[in-house]
Amino acid sequence: MDEDTHYNKVEDVVGSHVEDAVTFWAQSISRNKDIMKIGSSLSEICPHANSVFGNLDPKKCLVRYIDYGNTEILNRSDIVEIPLDLQFSSVAKKYRLWGLQIPSGQEVTQFDQGRTFLGSLIFEKEIKMRIKATYQDGTVIAQAEYGSVDIGEEVAKKGFAEKCRLTSSTSISEEKKSDPGQLVLRNLKNPIPLWGHRSNQSTFSRPKGRLSGRLPLELKNENDSGNHVTFPKENLAVGDFNLGSNVSLAKIKQDQKLIEENEKLKTEKEVLLERYKALELKVEQTALELQQEKATTVDLTKHLESTLKTRVGTRMKNLAAKVEMLKEIRRVNINIRFGNDLSDAIQVLDEDRFTIPASLNELEIIWAEYSLAQEKIRSCQDVNEGSILVAERNEVQQKLYMAVEIFILEVDELPLNKRLKTLQDLSASLEAVYGQAKEGTDSEEILKKFYDWKCDKREEITSVRSETEVSLQRLVSWFQSTLKAFDLSVEESLTSEDTIGNIDELLENTESSVCKELEISLIEQGDADKEIIFNTYSEVLQRIHSEERLIATVQSKYKDSVEFKKQVIECLNESPNVDHLLSIKKTLKSLKARLRWKLVEKNNLEESDDHDGSEIEIIKQEITQLRNSVFQEIYHEQEEYEKLTSLVKKWFPELPLLHPEIGLLKYMNSGGLLTMSLERDLLDTEPMKELSSKRPLVCSEVDGQIILLKGYSVDVDTEARVIQRAAAYHRAWKEAKEQSGLLPLIFLFLCKSDPMAYLMVPYYPRANLRAIQSSMPLTSEEALKVMKGVAQGLHTLHKADIIHGALHQNNVFALNRQQGIVGDFDFTKSVSQRASVSMMVGDLSLLSPELKMGKPASPSSDLYAYGCLLLWLSVQNQEFETNEDGIPKVDQFHLDDNVKSLLCSLIYCRSSVTAEQVLNAECFLLPKGKSAPNTEKDTEYTQKKEEELKVENLDKNK
């Protein structure tokens, strides 16, 4: 080994082939041109040559050309040494990692893994080699580095190699002086892992065409005796021998054969050794099992001996425990198991069954006649005919009054509440045991089957119970008779056979009887038994509910009868009149005249040249007081109208016919929205030019509230339709009022001088979505709160069969940035006219695809507009992408999963979604632990709005 000549010399090489975890071949970067020249020459000589592959043959061996990566199978006799004049110095050098060796006894799998790991570190990579020594066969011992990575340390860390043991200088000198022939023989006895045995050969070499000649044999010298891995004979390659060897090929073949036989014997030895160890382990396991069985037998014998000592006591305790269990089962389970509770319920239903009072049928006949008379009066248009119908109605009313008195007296004697309480308790107890019943049962057939089944079960359980009781009685008798045998005071001589008898047989019979009854009582009921019991339960429950409904009907009719009797007595004492309403109207007329006069007075003073400011201020205060008084009287008028409307609906439908001057019918048709006492010139209004693009809008103040007055041009037909549509909207709002999610309508009145209808609504300055989003956009939480209120508004309208048709950002309001409400729409237009107007939010159309196709508006088109508004609020100023139908793409935005799910339902699957379902969507549910709304922010916003209103009021009064 040459250690000093090139010590610590550094070379840059490229890895090309790996033999094992510490040995590899690499090519110097400085010889790139020579390699390219050789490759070009070979490609010109044999451009179409391919590698030779095939099945291995004992007479052939695997040859690898390290420099070029080709592989082929050759006959051993064909392998010869190349003449010196044809030889070319090796392009690649063989390197061995410094200070490392392969561990002794390394498995083949680990050997392959180590070779693969080293290949991943060096193959086709530029490596810096720091030379430490060189073997006589040309192997270079060096420290390999790739960048900052020490390759030797990485291989050692993975456990594929270990540090070399220190070697004395004597052994090194002997190594140098050894005969080359001995070196060859020693290496032949230590087979080396071959390239052909790699798991992925192509990773480290690439086919480049065969050489036309045969490569020289190379002798492999590991220089680490004792660290060898054995491989099959077919994987040994001739290319593993050194070029400088003087050993003949025949000698090599002989040594190879000896090595193979030696390996075969070693394998057989290992197999026999493994069999021996397996048999030895089996003998040990069998001995251990035998010892365990002996210990188990001893324990079992001891347990039997101890058990026999307490056999009588244990048996009696077990029997007593079973008898106690049987007592509990007889007390509880038998009622449910054999339908005793259902039998009791049927008995309760049959014994005190409630029947309809005889006077109820007569009462309902007369009541129907009375309702018909009322309906005739309601539809009558002639006053004279109406008077006749009222007289006829009064006669029927007297008859109904008598029938009501009889019915009330009869019902007062019935224990309705007590019976209802009994039925409710009975149904509750049965439902707690059996659960929900099923509908549609055949009562007679079910009850008959239940009674037959119960009789059979009763016979069976009676027989078993009788047997149990007899056996227990015999056991009790035995105990009583046995007392004499153990009583020393008894002088009578008794034999043990006469007294004790066969107690074992007696105990056996008693245990058998008790266990049989327990088995019958505890065994799971069959499907047929369950079906009979459940069908009977369903029938019983239906009978209970039927009787409950009958009692509820009688109670309801009783309540109506008491109310009718009370109302009739009041009507007989004092008939309804409209004097109070007429008095209010007269007061209103006077107040409006004074208000108009004061307005004229103020105008005259303001137009005069020498007007007194203090006098004008006094008149303004009087005008304000008069205007407030007018509205107070209008509110009183509304209250009186409501009272009369209630009387008309219940008892006196003739009032609108007999008193047409009060306009009660118009008030009722408008749902209480229309007032005839309010006029446009009575209000101190300010024109709203910025909001009057479609219709004239003015702003005013009523009772401290800022209101907006919307003007509609109407003709005779349009006026009726406006009143009808506004009334429907107003009725929907009145159902829930503040919880309706709708903008309230305050008054609807008609102008006497112009063909105009005016609608008074609350005014929320800069509270619509468009204004809010342009100034201070809603947060995601605020947007969800607002849109939940909007969903409530749509639900209120759709429940009343009203389609909005004009939902857009200007018509949705966010009060205090928390409560969302839906604004009203143009009552002069039909729903199709409203829906045909193009509505946009940003670049997104709010018209649903079906509206664009000419289909009529529907709740789903409202929900489409709602979904687009929700998407607009959720994504703020982001651009929308739409498909060919103009439908926005929701997936492009990063949104909350619940919000995205709701948007997909609204925009893509509207036909299957309702406003009520939207209202109950997951994204609108308040999560647990959610913080309360930011009251400080709301207060700041409210104060800001109040300041704006004050500024507007000051501007109006200038």
Task: Provide block-wise average pLDDT over 10 residues at a time, the chain (958 residues).
Answer: 67 90 89 72 60 54 53 66 67 89 86 90 90 87 90 90 64 40 37 37 38 36 38 39 46 80 91 93 94 91 81 83 83 61 79 84 91 90 88 89 91 88 86 77 72 73 80 83 74 62 80 82 70 80 86 90 83 74 93 92 84 84 92 93 88 87 90 91 86 81 90 89 94 92 94 89 93 93 95 96 93 94 92 86 87 91 94 86 81 87 87 88 68 44 49 42
- Decide: residue 854, CB within 10 A, 0-12 exposed, 13-18 middle, 19+ buried: exposed
Q: Does residue 455 form part of some domain?
A: yes
Report if residue 733 sits inside a domain: no
Tell which residue, 338, 346, 332, has the closest CA to residue 530: 338
Helix axes 311-337, 340-351, angle to 10 degrees: 30
Stretch (H or E) spanning 269: helix 249-309
The CATH number for 845's domain is: 1.10.510.10
Q: What is the pLDDT of residue 319?
A: 86
Q: What is the pLDDT of residue 516?
A: 82
Best CA proximity match to 787, nearest among 933, 944, 915: 915
pLDDT on residue 434: 79
Domain containing 527: what range?
339-354+414-566
671 close to 651: Cβ distance less than 8 angstroms: no
pLDDT at 742: 96
| CA dist list (Å): 530 to 534, 537, 641, 706 | 6, 10, 63, 70
Cα 232 to Cα 74, 77, 217, 222, 885: the distances in Å are 18, 20, 20, 19, 73
- Comparing CA positions, the residue from 647, 507, 637 lying closest to residue 575 is 647
Contact 98, 143 (CB under 8 A): yes
Is 915 exposed, middle or buried, given 0-12, 13-18 or 19+ CB atoms closer than 10 A?
buried
In a domain, 242, yes or no: yes
Instruction: Please say whether the dihedral angle defined by the alpha carbons of residues 298, 299, 302 and 304, taken in this order, is positive or negative.
Output: negative
* Angle between helix 527-573 and 416-434 (nearest 10): 150
| Residues 221 and 346 placed together within one structural domain of the fold | no
Judged by DSSP in three states, 27 sits in strand
Residue 686: closest CA among 890, 490, 956: 956
Please give the C-alpha separations between residue 198 and each of 110, 263, 818, 880, in angstroms, as whole numbers: 12, 21, 73, 59
Residue 344 sits in the same domain as residue 212: no
CATH assignment at residue 21: 2.40.50.90
User: In whole angstroms, what is the distance from residue 585 CA to residue 595 CA?
Assistant: 15
Last residue of a domain, one of 191, 212, 246: 246
Residue 679 falls within a domain, yes or no? no
Domain assignment present for residue 689? The answer is no
> Dihedral (C-alpha) 147, 149, 151, 155: value to the nearest 10 degrees?
-150
In a domain? residue 376: no
Q: What is the pLDDT of residue 387?
A: 87
Asked if 793 contacts 740 with a C-beta cutoff of 8 angstroms, the reply is: yes
State the DSSP string of 617-643: HHHHHHHHHHHHHHHHHHHHHHHHHHH
Residue 120 sits in the same domain as residue 228:
yes
- Looking at the domain assignment, is residue 626 inside a domain? no
Of the residues 246, 263, 292, which one is the last residue of a structural domain? 246
**Distance of CA 210 to CAs 43, 71, 82, 206, Å?**
10, 8, 16, 12
* Domain total of the chain: 3
Amino acid at 189: K
Is 935 a member of any domain?
yes
Does 56 share its domain with 197? Answer: yes
Task: Among 566, 591, 621, identify where a domain stops.
Answer: 566
Rounded to 5 degrees, φ, ψ at 357 are -60, 145
Indicate whether 213 and 345 sit together in one domain.
no
- Report the pLDDT value the prediction gives residue 592, as an integer from 0 to 100: 92
CA–CA distance, 329 with 322 (Å, rounded to integer):
10
What is the value of pTM for the model shown? Answer: 0.54
| Of the candidates 694, 828, 689, the residue with the CA atom closest to the CA atom of residue 755 | 828
Burial class of residue 200 (count of CB atoms within 10 Å of its CB; 0-12, 13-18, 19+): exposed
Same domain, 346 and 204: no
